[in-house]
Amino acid sequence: MARVVVNVALKPEILDPQGRAVQGALSRLGLSGVIDVRQGKQFIIEIDGELEGDRADLLEKLAGELLSNPVIEDFTLTVEN
Amino acid sequence: MARVVVNVALKPEILDPQGRAVQGALSRLGLSGVIDVRQGKQFIIEIDGELEGDRADLLEKLAGELLSNPVIEDFTLTVEN
């Protein structure tokens, strides 16, 4: 069984109001020195068998089109076979 | 500067309708053998200086109370100093 972790984050140049709100809350609750907070999504996908070849290519494609919005988001994909 | 990654995921016993929807979509779009998908949140926090002592303890506490809902979610916290 393969375990695939896809992390999706807003591109650095895109404003992240949720992250900004969390940054403000952390500071108000007493955590000093918070420079930046970005909030993203994480998908943990369990796949039957090994992930390789066409199936790996398709998942990479879908991570960029279904799981993330390529206009405003970047993704990283890690496979643990 | 320290970089802290907090991953928040629904506890395994909590139903994840977003993950289930993604699982259905991946299958419909041709990816075979998808056993399970769970969707979580990821916070990337940049902190001034090293994160240690009281500040590390406070961030650990806030990750469990502000960034995640301890009733339905688990979190992992990774510090890269």
| pLDDT at residue B12, as a whole number | 94
Q: How many CB pairs under 8 A join A and B?
A: 108
Q: Give pLDDT tens digits for A17-58.
A: 999 999 999 999 999 999 999 999 999 999 999 998 999 999
Tell me which residue in B33, B39, B49 faces A43 most closely, judged by beta carbons. Answer: B39
| pLDDT at residue A81, as a whole number | 76
- Chain B neighbors of A11, CB-CB under 8 A: none
CA B75, B45, B4, A35 dihedral sign is: negative
Residue A49, min C-alpha distance to chain B (Å): 8
In angstroms, the CA A58 to CA A76 distance is 15
Stated pTM of the model: 0.92
In angstroms, the CA B26 to CA B23 distance is 5
Indicate the pLDDT class of residue B77, thresholds 50, 70 and 90: very high
Q: DSSP letter at A48?
A: S
Is B80 an interface residue toward A (CB < 8 Å)?
no
Is B55 an interface residue toward A (CB < 8 Å)?
yes
Beta carbons within 10 angstroms of residue B13's beta carbon: 6
| pLDDT at residue B81, as a whole number | 76
Q: Where are the domains of chain B?
A: 2-80
Q: Give pLDDT tens digits for B14-64.
A: 999 999 999 999 999 999 999 999 999 999 999 999 998 999 999 999 999
Domain A2-80 has CATH 3.40.50.300: no
CB B36 within 8 A of CB A45: yes
Over pLDDT 70: what percentage of chain B? 100
Which residues fall within 8 angstroms of residue A29, CB to CB, at 6 or more apart? Answer: B58, B62, B66
